[in-house]
């Protein structure tokens, strides 16, 4: 199986197309003017809690307020508020959390008005970018994502990706991470940590702890609210961090600066794969046309999606949900029975719908 990442760069945006055996399965776009990215951390100001929604509207500097639901406060909200109050006053200069005394967890079904007040400053993280008329969705349960793990301050839990199927490997990873995890931090072990050695895991952990220290130091220097104090790493390396594995056979990019950026990142996470990064030099044909991506975009993102053997899907986006209608097309004339037609079409549709859900980010 060939897995390739095709990257198209221009002055205003960068497009990332993931292909499996030449078939488009994921498409991402980074826009230079995109002010808010998932993973960014802000010092924000609470506009007002709304008891009927059990949520608060947060001023994050967007024309529309961010939305913070009670369930997105995180169980250790009180510890977060206490820690950064001590940090901002200069009473806490050790950011490691090893000597920090945690507060009790907030109840799962409490009221947001019991914990947040208007004009109160709070540290939040973007979990969903602004879309249409809605502002960003935010959370005060912070997390820092790395290559092999996600670091969660004010927690002591170790969780493992369900995609790691081997119980022996899960036990091994949990034991390793438990031995290197600093006090006061929880860890989620990512799928790509499978079969990794403690040296690689510890290097990833130290990089995340360095980002945490950087966040705390920036917090002490913030004068204006709202203010971004930690940005997600640039989109090209964040996409590689999340999707890259040993199965990649090629990364093709039409921008020499981005080629060097990706090579530098691969030297850190997978030195043996640096050679698969190729600079696309063909001047007569754009990179997406050369790899057949443009053609697939035009056929895959319309209201009607053609499938093999005459069947097709109709995908409609409504205010509340996405509707997918499966149609047999002219295949109904070729099968021996209605039941066989339904089975054949549904098997084809199941695979294509899974691809479309990922491709269009329908979730």
Higher pLDDT, 269 or 254: 254
pLDDT at residue 177 is higher than 70: yes
Question: In the predicted model, what is the mean pLDDT of residues 339-355?
Answer: 89
Walk across the sheet containing 312-317 and list its strands: 304-306, 312-317, 322-327
Residue 302: which pLDDT band, with cuts at 50, 70 and 90?
confident
Q: What is the mean pLDDT of the chain?
A: 87
Per-residue confidence (pLDDT) for residue 139, from 0 to 100: 95
Condensed to tens digits (0 to 9), the pLDDT of residues 228-254 reads: 888 866 666 777 877 787 789 999 999
pLDDT at residue 14 is higher than 90: no
Helix locations, 244-292, DSSP H = 256-269, 287-290
Residue 147: which pLDDT band, with cuts at 50, 70 and 90?
confident
pLDDT at residue 128 is higher than 90: no
The secondary structure of the chain in percent helix, strand, coil, rounded to multiples of 5, reads: 35, 25, 35
Per-residue confidence (pLDDT) for residue 272, from 0 to 100: 87
Residue 41: which pLDDT band, with cuts at 50, 70 and 90?
very high
Contact 67, 127 (CB under 8 A): no
User: What are the angstrom distances between the C-alpha of 259 and each of 11, 234, 255?
Assistant: 16, 14, 6
Per-residue confidence (pLDDT) for residue 340, from 0 to 100: 84
């Amino acid at each position: 199986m060939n897995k390739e990442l095709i990257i198209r760069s221009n002055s205003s945006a960068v497009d990332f197309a993931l292909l499996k055996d030449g078939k488009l399965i994921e498409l991402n776009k980074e826009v230079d003017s995109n002010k808010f990215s998932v993973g960014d951390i802000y010092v924000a100001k609470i506009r007002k809690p709304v008891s009927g929604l059990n949520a608060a509207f947060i001023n994050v500097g967007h024309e529309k307020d961010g939305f913070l639901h009670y369930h997105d406060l995180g169980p250790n909200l009180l510890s977060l508020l206490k820690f950064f109050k001590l940090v901002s006053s200069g009473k806490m200069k050790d950011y490691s959390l090893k000597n920090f005394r945690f507060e009790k967890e907030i109840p799962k079904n409490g009221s947001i008005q019991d914990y947040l007040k208007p004009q109160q400053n709070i540290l939040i993280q973007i979990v969903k970018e602004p879309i249409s008329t809605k502002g960003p969705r935010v959370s005060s349960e912070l997390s820092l994502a790395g290559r092999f793990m996600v670091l969660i301050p004010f927690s002591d839990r170790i969780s493992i990706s369900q995609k790691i199927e081997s119980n022996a490997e899960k036990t091994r990873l949990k034991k390793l991470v438990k031995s290197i995890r600093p006090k006061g931090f929880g860890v989620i072990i990512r799928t790509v940590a499978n079969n990794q050695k403690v040296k690689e895991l510890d290097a990833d952990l130290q990089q995340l702890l360095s980002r945490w220290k950087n966040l705390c130091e920036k917090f002490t220097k913030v004068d204006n609210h709202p203010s971004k104090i930690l940005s997600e790493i640039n989109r090209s390396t964040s996409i590689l961090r999340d999707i890259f594995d040993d199965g990649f056979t090629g990364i093709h990019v039409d921008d020499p600066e981005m080629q060097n950026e990706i090579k530098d990142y691969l030297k850190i996470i997978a030195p043996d794969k640096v050679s698969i990064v190729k600079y696309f030099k063909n001047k007569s044909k754009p990179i997406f046309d050369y790899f057949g991506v443009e053609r697939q975009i035009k056929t895959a993102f319309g209201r009607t999606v053609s499938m093999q053997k005459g069947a097709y899907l109709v995908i409609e986006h409504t205010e509340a949900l996405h509707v997918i209608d499966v149609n047999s097309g002219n295949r109904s004339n070729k099968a021996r029975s209605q039941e066989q037609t339904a089975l054949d079409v549904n098997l084809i549709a199941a695979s294509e719908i899974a691809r479309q859900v990922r491709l269009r980010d329908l979730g």
